[in-house]
Amino acid sequence: MFLRRRAATASPAHAGRRGSERGSASIEMVIVFPLFVILLFSIVQGAVWYSARSAAQAAAATALNAARTYQSDSSDGIAAGEAFLARKSIVNGGHVSVSRSDTTVTVTVTGRSVSLVPGLPLDVSSTVTGPVERWVG
């Protein structure tokens, strides 16, 4: 019992296309893969920036709560905000500024988000304002 191997021949309808499609998967991959990687890095970078922005908001809220308490001053708010930023390494170069009047406190936290792409500065900033606690008697 002998098995004969049938020669691989293309049908006449596909004969012209067979040679022109060779390597098309490689070309498609060269085009699609970098776009996929760019999309993936963009999504991750957006998530990192959002997390840094949330950390800046939390630091501003922490500084506001420390600066608005009864018999505290601006330095208490700055210390609390900077201590919070020191625990969160996602905000680089964080700066806390506190402006306090007799009735309100305004805290601004600025910094830069960690960047996956070198040379891409992504600044974050958050400003919160609240009333000063007073003893009314």
- pLDDT of res. 86: 92
- pLDDT of res. 112: 93
Q: How many CB atoms lie within 10 A of CB 60?
A: 27
The overall pTM is greater than 0.85: no
- pLDDT of res. 16: 53
Checking if the pLDDT of 136 tops 90, the result is no
Checking if the pLDDT of 99 tops 60, the result is yes
- pLDDT of res. 28: 81
- pLDDT of res. 119: 81
Span 39-54, pLDDT tens digits: 998 899 999 999 999 9
Q: Which residue has the higher pLDDT, 88 or 45?
A: 45
Checking if the pLDDT of 33 tops 70, the result is yes
* Backbone angle region of 76, left / alpha / beta, with phi > 0 → left and psi within -120 to 50 → alpha: alpha
Please tell me the distance from the alpha carbon of residue 53 to that of residue 44, in angstroms, as a whole number: 14
Angle formed at CA 56 by CA 120 and CA 90, multiple of 5 degrees: 50
